[in-house]
């Protein structure tokens, strides 16, 4: 299936942003602020990030930043949402290029794309779909709900992956499928954090083990597109 034929559930933080930019100039300004935020995350980390420095790097008045973002947490949340959208777009292209893909293939491509973004996308090492570090920086009250005010980050991502996968995964109980993907994400997140803690580019052995771990777990929890066991690509 192509990106046009898949339905993706929207993720957002209702009421968090001051206002959504509508005009092209405002959209460009907002994106420039997020780009500056990502660059600063690589330079100083999430703990030392300030809205004042983000505005300075983006070359906008601090008041302009606060027109779009209510504070540091909202700024990081917007970056996490943007990162998730980019991840899904890039993963979708991989899936289309490799089609047909089974659950195991989906798992491998999902991990590969996440690793690729860790290596190349500014700020992604600090904020991917949530805070990547163990410590919650000052100014952030609820790091578990950066993507959605009602759902924790991994549940929000699981729902999007479930929608993206479409017929790749089948289950008699959709809620059980979401739970299984959420658990898989939690496990993958822990191993990949270890992989990048051991090696700035990601330890290849740990990345391979992450794939194996998730494939084995999903093989026990889920069925393939024809109702049989999870099989290779």
Q: Convert the pLDDT of each residue in 92-143 to its tens digit.
A: 999 999 999 999 999 999 999 999 999 999 999 999 999 988 688 888 988 9
Position 13 scores a pLDDT of: 58
Average pLDDT (168-182) is 83
| Domain 15-221 classification at class level | mainly alpha
Range with the lowest mean pLDDT among 33-37, 48-52, 97-101, 139-143? Answer: 139-143
Which of these, 207, 152, 204, lies nearest to 183 by C-alpha position?
152
Its pTM surpasses 0.75:
yes
Contacts of 118 by beta carbon, 8 Å cutoff, 6+ apart: 124, 125, 128, 192, 196, 202
Tokens of 193: 């954090």
Residue 26, pLDDT > 90, answer no
Give the C-alpha separation, 189 to 30, whole Å.
29
19 pLDDT band, cuts 50/70/90, is low
Q: Which residues of 178-217 are buried (b: 16+ CB within 10 A; e: fewer)?
A: bebbbbbbeebbebbeebbeeeeebbeebbeebbebbbeb
State percent of the chain over pLDDT 90. 70
What is the H or E stretch that residue 180 is in?
helix 174-198
Mean pLDDT, rounded, of the chain: 87
- pLDDT for res 12: 59
* H-assigned helices in 2-102: 24-44, 51-58, 62-68, 72-98
In angstroms, the CA 113 to CA 117 distance is 6
């Amino acid at each position: 299936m192509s990106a046009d034929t898949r339905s993706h559930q929207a993720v957002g933080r209702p009421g968090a942003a001051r206002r959504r930019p509508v005009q092209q100039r405002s959209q460009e300004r907002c994106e420039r602020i997020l780009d500056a935020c990502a660059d600063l995350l690589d330079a100083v980390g999430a703990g030392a990030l300030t809205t004042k420095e983000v505005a300075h790097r983006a070359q906008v008045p601090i008041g302009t930043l606060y027109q779009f973002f209510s504070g540091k947490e909202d700024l990081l949340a917007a970056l996490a949402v943007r990162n998730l959208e980019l991840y899904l777009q890039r993963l979708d292209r991989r899936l289309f290029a490799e089609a047909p893909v089974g659950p195991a293939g989906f798992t491998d491509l999902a991990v590969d794309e996440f690793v690729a973004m860790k290596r190349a996308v500014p700020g992604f090492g600090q904020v991917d779909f949530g805070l990547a570090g163990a410590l919650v920086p000052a100014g952030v009250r609820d790091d578990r709900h950066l993507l959605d005010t009602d759902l924790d980050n991994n549940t929000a991502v699981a729902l999007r992956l479930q929608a993206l996968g479409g017929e790749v995964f089948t289950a008699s109980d959709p809620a059980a499928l979401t739970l299984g993907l959420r658990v898989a994400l939690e496990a993958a997140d822990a191993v990949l954090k270890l992989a990048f803690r051991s090696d700035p580019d990601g330890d290849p052995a740990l990345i391979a083990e992450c794939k194996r771990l998730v494939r084995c777990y999903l093989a026990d929890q889920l069925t393939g597109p024809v109702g049989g066991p999870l099989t290779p690509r």
